[in-house]
Structure formats: C-alpha cells, structure tokens
Structure 1
Amino acid sequence: MASASAVKLDQRETYAAFICDELSSQILHPVITERGWDPDMIFSGGVAGAVRALGGMPCPEFLIVDLSDSEDPRADMQSLADVCEPGTVVLALGTLNDVTLYRDLLHAGVHDYLVKPLTAEVLHSAVVAAENAIFVEEEVEEQGPKTDARQIVCVGVRGGIGASTLVANMAWLFADQGKKTALLDLDLFFGTSAMQFDLEPGRGLSDALDNPRRVDGLFLERAVVKPHEKLSILGCEAPIGGMSDPADGALEQLVDALGENFDCVVVDVPRQLMGSHVDVLKSATDIIVVTDFSLTSARDCIRLLAHIKQIAPSADVYVAANKVGMVPNEVDEKDFENSIEHAVDVKVPFDVKAMMAATQKGVVICEEAPRSKISDAYLTLLRTVTSDDTIGDSKKSWFGKLLGK
C-alpha cells in the first residue's frame, strides 16, 4: 500500500481508501481497478491516516476508511467529519461486530459499515452502492432543493400546553384541503400524533433517523401510518433510553426529504430539541410558537423567539395562544404581546367538551366538531399561515361545507 503523505493532489479525486491491513487492500484492489479508478489511491494508515492526509489534500467524493486500529471509532469518525467536505460518501470497515456502533456510524452520516474479514463480493456491492449514492447526490444538487413545499415547525413553550393537539389538527386541515401532508412527530419516546388518530406509530421515525438519505417515496409508503388519504404520520414510541439523539444535520435532511414527497410538512418539535438540534429550524418556512398567557410562558416565549430569529431569520413566525379561558390569564394579553414584542396571531379557546368527544372517538377535534369555536380557531391559524382566506370555503371541502351551514 502507498503512503498518503507521498501523494499530493491538485484536484478532488473520485475516491481514496485508507486501509489498515494488506489482505483487505488486496481484496479491494481488483474492485477498484474494475471501476477504472486509480489503485494508487489505496493508502495505509486507517482512519487516523485519513484524517492526517485530508488535512493536506482535497477531500475525494468517496472515502473508504478502516477503523480496525481505532480505540474510539466514534471520536475518530468525528475527526474525519471535521476534515471532509459536505456530501462526501464514507464507507467504513472494521473488526468490531456491534449493532450499536453500526447505528451510531449511520447516525453520523456514514453510508455503510462492513465487518472484517471482507469478501470481494460484499466489498464490490458496497462500492457500487456508494457510487450510486454519489450519483444521486450530484443529481439532487443539480436539480436544486424543492422550494414549493411548505415546512411548518410547531413548538410549545412548555409541556402540556397542547402543541401536539394543535399540530395534529393543523395537519388534518391541510390534508382535508387536498394537500399531500406529512406530520413528523419528533418526540421519540412520548409522541402522541398517531395516538390522536387511534393509530400505532410503528418505528418509521427511528428507521428514518438511522439514515435520512434513504428516505424516499418507497420508504415512506412502508414507514408512515395514514389516518387520511392525504395525511401521513411519521413517528415512533421508542423504549425510554433505547434510542440515541439524532446526529447533527439528520433532522434537516429528514424534513427536506419529506418536503420532496409532500406538499406540506408539519413538524411537532419538543422544546428540549430546540437547543441541541437547531437544524430542524433551518428547514422551516413557517414556525408556530404555542403558548398561554402565563408569566412563565411569557419568559420562555421571549427566549424562544430570540433563538428562532438567530437560527432561522428567514422563516415566518406566528404565536398561537392555546387553551384560552381554561384558567384566568396571569398576564394581560396586551402586556403579554408587549413583553414578547410579537402579536398573538390566534387565540384557541379551551373546549373540554369537544376535546373529550374527539378523544373518545380517536379523531381530531376538527373532524369531530368542525363547527366548534376551537376548530374555527385552528382554521384561522391555517389561513394566517398560508395567507389564504379562502381555505375552508371550498365546496369540495367537507370541512368547508359544514362551516357554511
């Protein structure tokens, strides 16, 4: 095997391999030459050698890195990520046959992980798959991102404020207007989006977060649950502590992938993710902050709105006061708006009768009680977000016809 330090590159190569042992290099050699690639780009040194070499040469489109000599594979892969260009496809090799390590590497953006001893057939298949991934990524970059999908992020300023109920109703309303809609519930352990439609969420979300690049129309057909012809829910009820936090950038990739397959993506974001996973905000076209008129919520609204302005300055931001009338307001509405320096765009009244009726039937409030004041408030919020006052008035809409009675 060649030494990486002996080679200087003036332009980005198709691939480079950093292998720890001679046998693996010999197995890789014919696979590489078959594709017309330069066998001199197979180097010794494993992942540590890759990190050193990439500090002094352009990063290839495709990297094969060996973790066999690594004492801390996760840390070494993070060091590799720091010197890689965005979009680089990485195939990892190693001797450790560990499911947790495999999942962590995929979370970190590794395309695949092969356990030694290698065979020519397995290695060939993995290289072909990686080459296809490079082709797909280049094709997506040429086409550019989809810009017409509405991506709405909803976050409650505190737990129990009713943000998940608002999200489920918003998603149902979009679907009822004929929009192909995805509801993404990012509460990995306690999500209720599917439950509000009397459905089991499956493990679609955990599978999607394992490798968001693989999320496509075919994957979604298997991963989502559908309470409505136009509404698909992606969520999970992972065992408590049984699922790692999403890797950096994974949520943004996932929301963008959903945006390529749906007209509208509504994301239910637990507030604890707002600090550690700001990437989900970067994908948003619209952000809804759900609050009440309490002193604590006023404080947290101020902090959340400042955070959103910094992370997603181009998103349109709305404030929805929920469960209005359930308890007396701690803060006067005008004082509340002055303190958060933002108008309350809609006030959703507390309606225990409508809520209980919907819960007992396993449907959302807008389906069970479309003429209720709470449903009317949800519709007002939808019209505000979309800037379309005609929503709900179409004769083709069952919801609209009921409101017109």
Structure 2
Amino acid sequence: MNAPWKSGSSGGRDQFAAYLCDDAAMDVLRPIVADLGWQPEKCCRGGLRNAVQSLSVTASPNILLVDLSESGDPLSDINALAEVCEPGTIVIAIGQVNDVRLYRDLVASGIHDYLLKPLSPVQVRDALTHAQAVYSAPRSHDAAGAKPHVSTAVIGTRGGVGTSTLATSLAWLFSADYKLPTALLDLDIHFGTGALCLDLEPGRGLTDAIENPSRIDGLFIERAMIRANDNLAILSAEAPISTPLMTDGSAFLQLAEEFRQAFEMTVIDMPRNMLINFPQLAAEVNVAVIVTEMTLASARDAIRMLSWFRAHAPQTRVLVVANKVQSALAEISKGDFEASIEAGIHLSIPYDLKASSLAAKLGQTFVDANRATKAGAAIRDLARLIAETGEAQADSTAKPSLLGKIDFKAMMPRTRKKAQAGG
C-alpha cells in the first residue's frame, strides 16, 4: 500500500503523537508529554492499527509512540506503518511480549526503542528525551557522506586459545598500519587482558558504562576510553571478582552504536558466554573470528559456534582461525578438523612461545613485537582479509528495512532490562 500524498515539510508536522491501547499506559504518558512541552491530546487510543489508519491521511509526527499490545503480527503491522510515515520519523514501540527474538526483529526493522508494559514514568521519560535528542542531532553520519564501519568480534572456542592476543593485535594493526580510527572493546569484564596486552591501566570506563547506560554518548566515549596510540582507543575493565556482572546488555549495544559514529573499525574481544547471555550483540557484527586450537574440545565447540552464527547472525562473515598450531603435536589433523566442523580453516597461526614471551616483556601487542615471525605474518594476513572484505560485508548486511521509508537518525536503541530477560 502506498500512502496518499501528504505535505513533506517538517514545519507542518507535530513534534509528538502516541497511539495507546489502555488507560494505564495513557495515565503514565500524558503527564510526561505535558512536562516535555508537547500536547497531551496527541496521546490517542487505538494502538498501532489506529496509527496506520490515522497517519494515512495526516502528516506523521517527528516522534511517534505506538502500542503493539493488540497487534497479532507486529512486524507486518510495522511494515504497514512504514508506508504512511514521513521521512525522519523516530518510532518507539511499546508492548507486553517479553521476547528477545521479537525485540531483535523490531530493532532490525528500524524501531528506535521498545518498552515493555507496565510502563514506568522514568523509563518513558528517558526514552522520549533520548528520542528528542536524536531527532535534534545533526545528521553528520547520514548515508551520503558516511564512511563504512566494520565491526569484528573475536571469539575463542575455549579459554586460553589466544583470543585476546589476536584481538589486540588486530586492533593495533588497523590503527597503526591501516591508519584507521579503531576501538577495542574487551568484554571480559572481570578477567580481560586487553589493556594488559597494551601495557595500559583499564580504568573505570566500561564499569561506569554498565552501571549507567544512559550516560553513554560521544562525550562519555571520549573521556572513558584509554588511548593506546593516535588511532586506537580501548575500553576494558578489571571488575572485582566479588562483584557479579549485573547488566541487561543495553550498555554494550549503546557502546557499539557510539563506536560506529566515532570510529571506522571496532574490534570486540568477546567471551563465548556473551553469545548465550547477550545474543543481540552479534546483530551488528560484520566479521566474527572464531579462534580455535586443533583439539577435540575446540572442534566440538567450533561446531556449536558455527551453528549458532548460522541461526542467529547469518549476515555475519565467519572466519575460522587455528591458533597455536603445532602440527606434530595436534590432537586432530587439519583435514580431520575441517571435516568435523564442516568448514574450512581460513588461517593457521603457528605456535611461537618465544614470540609471546617477548611481547609480554616489551608490553606490546604480539604482532607489533613480532613483525618478522611467521605468526606475526599470519595475523597480518588475517587483518588484511578483514580489511578487504569488511566493507563489502558491511554493505551486504545493510538490508532494506521494513521501515525503509523512515529516515531513522539513530538505529540502535538503549535496550530495556526486561526485553533482554530470557535471552
């Protein structure tokens, strides 16, 4: 369905409108709307279906809040909404379905945020204030002039396979050799070694981000990240081991969004348990490097990870890298390993204990301290593979959105704790 012609000038558009299904949500929303200086009478009854009907004959607002509670097929209805919305509209959805898959599908369709009922005033105010700031922000990253951003997650099949060594080396290469503004995010909150590999103190930036996701913005990134060189900044933590990780993952998603605006490359040192606890993190990853050893345990877990990516992040290019390779001592030959995981090994990095010791003594990344070694050359080949294929991968993942007609200026929301629960 194509929308009838409507004036496209933003001057004739309302700042805000909402379509809600119940009085309880209306009672929460109206006072907040009034406090923000908007018109409370723009809070209407009827939910998403009524929004589609109304906006087919009137100009859509700058910020639109729609209730999905009575929608039997939310994604299909969102598609209908796209047909009647003006370019530039920011859409916030609310609903009562606590399902991570629905949340991820809505995010992929271009929804700015998704709030779960029952609504809390703090939650709603925060979402509307952020949407207002996003709408008012200059479109410095719009498509015409934007540089492609490549996000690479480095994930080990087992502990000790060298994930952090590869992640820090790749980040260093992108920043020092390719001269690309690069962010290194170490998500091992308690035992991460990203800063240690670079001979840096981790600081409290990542811990503060997890505790206060609403603080994350460009200024926070500038202040919280530790500079390793002119093009490389790192965000990591050494949280007390007596303090459990208490987060719904919203901080990680918001960090990823800010990195996309501030850097051209992001390298994420991602512990494998993050795939279980926060599967939405993989949604925006362009390249996943699965680091493995030639062992039975690593083969088993490589199979599981490859299957996970096929099911949950099919848009991501997956590279299998065998690290610490000692052909004579391997539990499984390369041929048997590839047959077992039903995939090829893209690169093999030889084991070099002397080179590892040298890097540790110098306080440098492995690849920086060992440029002349075979292992260092293999890591540079991996960086080249990511750099050469990353831009094409980023383009291929930019699939047409269900809300393609809506020019969202911030595609990544700040997730809500309840939306993550159960994922």
Shorter-chain TM-score: which interval? 0.5 to 0.7
Q: TM-score, normalised by structure 2?
A: 0.65
Please tell me whether residue 13 in structure 1 is matched to residue 38 in structure 2: no
Alpha-carbon offset, residue 289 of structure 1: 0.4
User: Deviation of residue 251 (structure 1)?
Assistant: 3.1
**C-alpha deviation, 1:245, in angstroms:** 4.4
Do the aligned residues in 2 keep the contact of 1:225 with 1:233 (CA within 8 Å)? yes
- Please identify, of 34-43 and 277-286, the stretch whose mean Cα deviation from structure 2 is larger: 34-43
Deviations 1:309-361 (A, max 9, x none): 11121221111111112971111111111111211111111111111121122
**Deviation, structure 1 residue 54:** 6.2
Q: Structure 1 residues 332, 88: CA separation in 2 closer, same or farther (over 3 Å shift)?
A: closer
Q: Which moved more, 1:318-327 or 1:273-282?
A: 318-327
Q: Which residue of structure 1 lines up, in the alignment, with residue 357 of structure 2?
A: 356
Matched with 2:286 is 285
Secondary structure in structure 1 of the residue aligned to 2:17: coil
Deviations, residues 106-162 of structure 1 (Å, cap 9, x unaligned): xxxx664xxxxxxxxxxxxx98x4563352589699769967111101100011111
Task: Give the aligned partner of residue 159 of structure 2.
Answer: 159
Q: Residue 270 of structure 1: SS of its match in structure 2?
A: coil
Match of 1:268 in 2: 269
1:186 equivalent in alignment to 2:190: no
Q: Output the CA distance in 2 between the equivalents of 1:111 and 1:157.
A: 42
Please tell me the root mean square deviation across aligned C-alpha atoms, in Å: 4.0
Tell me the residue number matched to 1:169: 169
Match status 1:37 vs 2:39: yes
For residues 40 and 286 of structure 1, the distance between their equivalents in structure 2, rounded to whole angstroms, comes to 44
**What's 2:112 paired with?**
87
CA distance in 2 between counterparts of 1:213 and 1:57 reads 32
TM-score by length of 1: 0.67
Q: Which residue of 2 aligns with 1:374?
A: 375
Offset at 1:273? 1.2
1:272-319: per-residue Cα shift (whole Å, max 9, x none)? 111221112111111100001101111111111111111121221111
Aligned amino acid, residue 200 of structure 1: E
Alpha-carbon shift at residue 362 of structure 1 (Å): 1.4
Does 1:132 pair with 2:132? yes
Instruction: Name the SS of the counterpart of 1:260 in structure 2.
Output: helix
The 5-angstrom pairing of residues 66-105 of structure 1 reads: 79=96, 86-88=111-113, 92-93=120-121
Alpha-carbon distance between aligned partners in 1 of 2:44 and 2:211, rounded to the nearest angstrom: 29
Query: 3-state DSSP class of the match of 1:198?
Result: coil
Q: Which has the higher contact order (CA 8 A, sep 6+)?
A: 2
CA distance in structure 1 between the partners assigned to 2:29 and 2:333 by the alignment:
71
SS in 1 for 2:315: coil
Once residues 258 and 373 of structure 1 are traced to their aligned partners in structure 2, the CA distance between those partners, rounded to angstroms, is: 32
C-alpha displacement at 1:32, in angstroms? 1.5
Change in CA separation of 1:342 and 1:144 when aligned onto 2, cut-off 3 Å = farther
Q: Please list the CA deviations of residues 46-101 of structure 1 after superposition, one character each: whole Å capped at 9, or x if unmatched.
A: xxxxxxx96997698469xxxxxxxxxxxxx994877998435879448xxxxxxx
2: distance between equivalents of 1:383 and 1:223? Answer: 29
Distance 1:80 1:282, change over 3 A: closer
What amino acid does structure 1 have at the position aligned with 2:351?
A: F
State, as a whole percentage, how many aligned pairs show the same letter: 31
| 1:247 is aligned to 2:251 | no
CA shift in 2, pair 1:142/1:195, >3 Å: closer
Residues 374-405 of structure 1: per-residue CA shift (max 9 Å, x gap): 211111111222238xxxxxxxxxxxxxxxxx
User: Following the alignment from structure 1 to structure 2, what is the Cα–Cα distance between the partners of residues 249 and 34?
Assistant: 25
- Find the residue that maps to 1:155 and give its secondary structure: strand
Cα shift readout 1:204-245 (whole Å, capped 9, x = no counterpart):
123334455654332211111111111111111222253544
After superposition, the Cα gap between the structure-2 partners of 1:330 and 1:136, relative to the gap in structure 1 and judged at 3 Å, is farther
Q: For the residues of structure 1 that align with 2:197 and 2:382, how far apart are their CA atoms?
A: 20
Deviation by residue 1:227-271 (Cα, 9 ceiling, x = unmatched): 111111111122225354442555344323212211100111101
Distance in 2 (alpha carbons) for counterparts of 1:149 and 1:160: 29
CA gap of 1:252–1:191, structure 2 versus 1, over 3 A, is same
CA 358–33 in structure 1, closer or farther in 2 if over 3 Å, else same: closer
Instruction: Determine the structure 2 residue equivalent to 1:197.
Output: 198
Is the contact between residue 18 and residue 44 of structure 2 (CA under 8 Å) also seen in structure 1?
Answer: no
Contact 1:156–1:291 under 8 Å retained in 2: yes
| Between 227-236 and 245-254, the greater mean CA deviation after superposition | 245-254
More displaced stretch, 239-248 vs 284-293: 239-248
Could you list the runs of 5+ residues in structure 2 that have no partner in the other structure? 1-15, 53-62, 67-93, 390-423
SS at match of 2:371: coil
1:171 counterpart letter in structure 2: A
Judge which range, 326-335 or 307-316, deviates more. Answer: 326-335
Q: Quick check: 2:218–2:258 contact (8 Å CA) kept in 1?
A: no
SS at match of 1:188: coil
> 1:187 corresponds to which letter in structure 2?
D
Give 1 or 2 for the bigger CA radius of gyration.
1
Gap regions ≥5 residues in structure 1: 1-11, 44-52, 64-76, 95-104, 113-125, 389-405
Q: CA deviation at 1:25?
A: 11
The residue type equivalent to 2:17 in the other structure is E
* Compared CA separation, residues 36 and 287, structure 1 to 2 (3 A): closer
Q: 1:376 to 1:267 in 2, by over 3 A?
A: same
